[in-house]
């Protein structure tokens, strides 16, 4: 190890020490754990935000996968005389189904087959 290597090593260690010191200065003060803060944040948010009772919006491809049929069959099921499939809502030019309505239709369909 030559003189240049030892100087480079000392410089590198000095730089590491400065960076470590700066990180320690930025460290948050000791307090509640991250899990506790997350629980508190969740409790605060749940009291402020409305609960989404409808579920997510689904495109026809998502509905077809969820029900296990083709996209064309989704539209055919909408025209059944007994227990028709829920109709989509329109958002712009897109046809969107509400996840909760699709799930309710599936549950009714299973119940009707079990009787």
Tens of pLDDT, residues 39-67: 666 556 555 556 677 788 999 999 999 99
**Tokens read off for 98:** 């509400």
Range of the domain at 7: 1-28
Exposure letters 12-42 (e unless 16+ CB within 10 A, then b)? eeeeeeeeeeeeeeeeeeeeeeeeeeeeeee
**Tokens read off for 111:** 């119940």
Same domain membership, residue 110 and residue 61: yes
6-10, 39-43, 53-57, 71-75: least confident range: 39-43
What's the pTM value of the predicted model, to 2 decimals?
0.55
Within a domain: residue 43? no
Number of separate domains in the chain: 2
């Amino acid at each position: 190890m030559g003189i240049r290597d030892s100087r480079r090593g000392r410089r590198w260690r000095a730089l590491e020490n400065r960076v470590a010191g700066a990180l320690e200065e930025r460290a948050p003060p000791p307090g509640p754990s991250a899990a506790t803060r997350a629980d508190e944040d969740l409790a605060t948010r749940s009291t402020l935000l409305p609960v989404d009772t409808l579920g997510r919006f689904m495109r026809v491809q998502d509905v077809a996968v969820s029900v296990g049929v083709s996209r064309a069959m989704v539209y055919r099921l909408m025209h059944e005389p007994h227990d028709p499939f829920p109709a989509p809502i329109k958002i712009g030019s897109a046809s969107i189904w509400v996840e909760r309505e699709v799930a309710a239709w599936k549950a009714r369909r299973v119940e009707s087959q079990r009787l």
